[in-house]
A and B are shown apart, each in its own frame.
Chain A
Amino acid sequence: MTLDGFDSGRTARITSVNWAILAEDEGKRLQALGVDEGAEVAIVHRGVFGTRDPLALRIGNMTIAIRRAHAAAIEVEAA
């Protein structure tokens, strides 16, 4: 399943990232922030009601904000 559908608060392991559907610089940026195969992430906050966009992601000791569209490119499994 993809990260945007994963439960908040639970830790997910990234199995693959569909870089092709991300803009090139966004992909690079996510990778530089540690979003890549094998990394463990958790959704810690979701944005405003309704759309629940954007998401706050805990990765390592860092919190990063991304949009659901990015999260939809990230395949995960429960860690």
Chain B
Amino acid sequence: MSRKHTVALVGNPNSGKSALFNALTGARQKIANYAGVTVERKAGRLTLPSGEPVELLDLPGAYSFDAASPDEAVTRDVVKGTFEGEVVPDVLILVLDAANLEQHLVFAQEVLELGRPTIVALNMVDLAERDGLTLDPEALSEALGVPVIPTVAVRRRGITELAAAVAEAETHADEEAHKRWHLTLPERRLSAKHMARAAILSKSTRHTIENGVDRILLNPWIGPVILFGLLFVIFQAVFAWATPFADALEGGVGVLSAGVTDTMAPGIFRDFLTEGVLAGVGSVVVFLPQIVILFAFILVMEASGYMARAAFLMDRLMAGVGLSGKSFIPLLSSFACAIPGIMATRSIADPKDRLTTILIAPLMTCSARLPVYAVIISAVIPETTVGAGVGLQGLVLFALYVAGIVGAMIVALVLRRTVTKGAASGFIMELPRYQLPRIKDLAIGLWQRAWVFLRRAGTIIFVATIALWVLLSFPKADEGESQLDASYAGAVADTIHPVLEPVGFNREMSLALVPAIAAREVAVSALATTYAINAEDEDLAAQGVTERIAALWTLPMALAFLAWFVFAPQCLSTIAVARRETNGWKWPIVMVVYLFALAWIAAGATYWIAVSLGL
């Protein structure tokens, strides 16, 4: 037996491939992009019973090699060994949904025709049993000519057997299999029917739970009510549940900052740590709990099978602006962060639909806006109630979310009639079977997203904060001169202020926008740092950013600043990911230009209206 180096998982979408991948590799996973295409490459380490490690590759789900989506093309090219920069997998694990054999065997034959060493994982046998199916893996193995291992990935059943079978698999191609099959699609479908029939020992006429549950969840009246109720609960949870964790993190940063102040001698390096690093990065890390909570809901919706139902319910509404229900999923993710949202557009097959969704994703109110909204609202909007249990501050926050959504819908409508004009998009989507999500799979998914967020805080935001601190701190002001006026940052502010003055921005606000290009939440620490450095005396320096804003900004100015952040493309990572996902600079530039234009107009309109109303 020769050594094996790579093993790849192939199978239809919704065959439980990713759960199997998690069960086989645990958290030892690496996610990257395939070179040159926007399809994700998921690889992890699988340890064979002998202790020998192999690389396990989770290929994108495919219904056929002869189909349209970029995902399927990658799967085809990798298993055929024609994908540049990727080695041919030594062994394939073909994943079949035991309850959906007849359908999954169609693609299975296409894979087996390649004659590669293959093992079949007959997955989700528990769901098949739930549906009243008794299966005969040996009959299936005989019909296919390869080993068949029954598995339940989410319960880790059959995982060791599968690893053992991989170790046993011969790594040379099976020429015979290659000759045995060479069928057309209708022939494959017919033989899939025969094979499925032979493998099914008994079939009771038990009703699947899908129909019953879907009768409620997809009901034209009740379904949307449940969906919007759920969305309401999600957003409620994001704010309410995250508060104690956010407070704890904030307290931690405060303790750290106080510790640094106490132990270090006053000087430039201490200022750098407290004003730059801790104030800047700390103000961002505080939002980790909200991101984790929002993603927990999204991951549960996806893993349980409900997300596809949400797409089904939303399709009609999305069609109204020229999109399809499939765009709903990336747009919902964008409320946490536009980066994973834009990456999630990969599931949209139609290129124009996908492009439109990428271009409007930054308008969904991501969690990075919350620090900005929270600080400005608490500084200038009074804490009054406007009705039963409804506070004015909450109402303003809600209005900002709505403004983003409405803006996105209008932009989508305009884009679909102009730059992304084309045939009305279709909506073809499998509604997967309901399944209880596994905690470990959720934990892996949450960890990956939290890590992306923290890495961003640790890199882009860190660098932007430090750069701003340096620009604000040097050169040092002379006696009687304000530090802001003397600094390099002051010169930058003077340059861009004329553009923003008509929409009501003062010099500090204009300056805060510059580092906030890197990431919106930096605006808060930028204002904090600016006001701290520029304070004329110790009393002012001790005041928080909220008090300074309350004292120095008028209401129209603050509202204009909020309106700016609803639209402005203040996030380098989003622009970078848009470039990667559209393979070029053209669309990110279009995105940046239209968003800045919208931001300027929205801020201006808000300011002028507020001033003329005498606010």
Contacts and interface: CB of A to CB of B under 8 A. Distances in A.
Most central of B99, B315, B349, B423 by chain A CB within 10 Å: B315
Given A28-B64, A46-B220, A49-B221, A65 B308 contact: yes
A78 B170 CA distance: 49
Contacts, number: 111
B316 A60 contact: no
Given A28-B64, A54-B325, A61-B103, A23 B211 contact: no
Nearest to B317: A48
B428 interface: yes
A51 B315 CA distance: 11
A51 B208 CA distance: 28
A40 B426 CA distance: 22
Contacts of A53: 315-316, 319
B312 A56 contact: yes
B477 interface: no
A63 B103 contact: no
Given A47-B312, A47-B315, A61-B100, A54 B189 contact: no
Interface residues of B, number: 44
Nearest to B110: A32
Interface in A1-56: 23-26, 28-34, 36, 44-49, 51-54, 56
A79 interface: no
A61 B208 CA distance: 9
Nearest to B223: A48
B316 A29 contact: no
Contact of B349 (A29, A56, A64, A70): A29
B351 to A, nearest CB: 10
B189 A47 contact: no
B66 A48 contact: no
A56 B99 CA distance: 19
B106 interface: yes
B312 A66 contact: no
A29 B428 contact: yes
18 contacts: A26-B426, A29-B68, A32-B67, A47-B312, A49-B221, A53-B319, A54-B325, A54-B427, A61-B99, A61-B100, A61-B102, A62-B103, A64-B428, A64-B429, A64-B430, A65-B311, A65-B429, A66-B427
* Closest 4 A/B residue pairs (Cβ): A25-B68, A32-B63, A32-B64, A63-B431
